Amino acid sequence: MAMDRREFLKIAGLTAFLGIGGKAGLELLAPGDVEAAVKNAPLTAGKKWGMAVDVQLLDEAVMDKCVEACHTHNNVPDVGNPKEELKWIWKETYDHSFPGQENEYLAGRYKQKNFLLLCNHCTNPPCCRACPTKATWKREDGIVMMDMHRCIGCRFCMAACPYGARSFNWGDPRKAPKELNPNYPTNPEFPTRNKGVVEKCTFCAERLAKGQYPACVEAGNKAKPGVLVFGDLDDPKSEVRLVLGKRYSIRRKPELGTGPNIYYMI
């Protein structure tokens, strides 16, 4: 960049004066980067995305809405065969969701209830350590992201994930039964996957970049406001931290040390 000493000092002085040193100062030196402007939007500046699920508000209808919204947005087909099921967000019973925390006398309202499960976007994700090609990795904002271009389909990550949050494409998703997926692909703005790659929830990273909530959060809260609270767990003033500060919550298999970031408020 062509800039003489005098000009540099002027900008540096001004930056210090305005108290916007560090990264903001650097951006002043390299103006025109739209990323800087977009990153200021509240939803694109997180450090540790997480979610709190209000179990008391959660019912079958809401869960179905969330699952449908997610699968519609992300072009996740219903392959018909439960052994080859593609799961980004799904329903599961208490003893399957929280194994080790069940007991004989558990209140019926939990025993018979389904829970909404998705990728926990762990703080210490075992899937990322298992991946030999770095096709899955932990982003700086906490999302455990998946690069379908790089996935070789070895399925080590599926073996590593203790939550069953990863699914393998045993066949071409576009060849999924038409009668189960009449309008597939449902979202023309989002790609499908191809045969032989692993896929999972991405917290709708492309929606977050636009300042929108993940599809499940949007649909869930439309049906029942407050059922899914999404936000930055690193920010003590965020909505998700405020609700977690008030309610008792549990996580799935925290004893494994993966640091799951989906909280279930009982």
Partner 1 sequence: MYDGGKIITGLVIGVGLLLFPVVYNAGKAAKAPEPVLTEKAKAAQQCVESTAFMKTEHMKLLDEWRQQVVREDERYYKSPSGKLHYKGLQTTCMECHSNKSKFCDECHNYMGVDPYCWECHIAPKENQ
Chain residues that interact with partner 1, rule: CB under 8 A? 32-35, 38, 137, 139, 141, 145, 147-149, 172, 185, 188-194, 205-206, 209
Tokens 């399957």: give the residue: 96
Q: CB-wise, 35 or 60, nearer to partner 1?
A: 35
Q: Which residues of 138-158 are buried (b: 16+ CB within 10 A; e: fewer)?
A: beebbbbbbeeeebeebbbbb
**Least Å distance between CB 102 and partner 1?**
39
Q: CB-wise, 101 or 187, nearer to partner 1?
A: 187
**Least Å distance between CB 203 and partner 1?**
12
Q: CB-wise, 153 or 185, nearer to partner 1?
A: 185
Rounded CA gap, 200 and 128, in Å? 13
Q: CB-wise, 114 or 186, nearer to partner 1?
A: 186
Q: What angle do CA 232, 233, 235 make, to 5 degrees?
A: 70
**Least Å distance between CB 24 and partner 1?**
18
**Least Å distance between CB 192 and partner 1?**
5
Q: List Cβ neighbours of 6 (8 Å cut-off, separation of 6 or more).
A: none
Q: CB-wise, 205 or 242, nearer to partner 1?
A: 205
**Least Å distance between CB 81 and partner 1?**
21
Amino acid in position 205: A
Q: CB-wise, 179 or 189, nearer to partner 1?
A: 189
Q: What angle do CA 251, 253, 259 make, to 5 degrees?
A: 70
**Least Å distance between CB 185 and partner 1?**
6
Q: List Cβ neighbours of 165 (8 Å cut-off, separation of 6 or more).
A: 87, 117, 118, 119, 120, 200, 201
**Least Å distance between CB 174 and partner 1?**
9
Q: CB-wise, 194 or 249, nearer to partner 1?
A: 194
Beta strands in 109-254 (DSSP E): 114-118, 136-138, 144-146, 167-168, 198-199, 228-232, 249-250
Nearest to 233 by CA among 224, 245, 225, 221: 245
Contact 114, 61 (CB under 8 A): no
DSSP state of 146: E
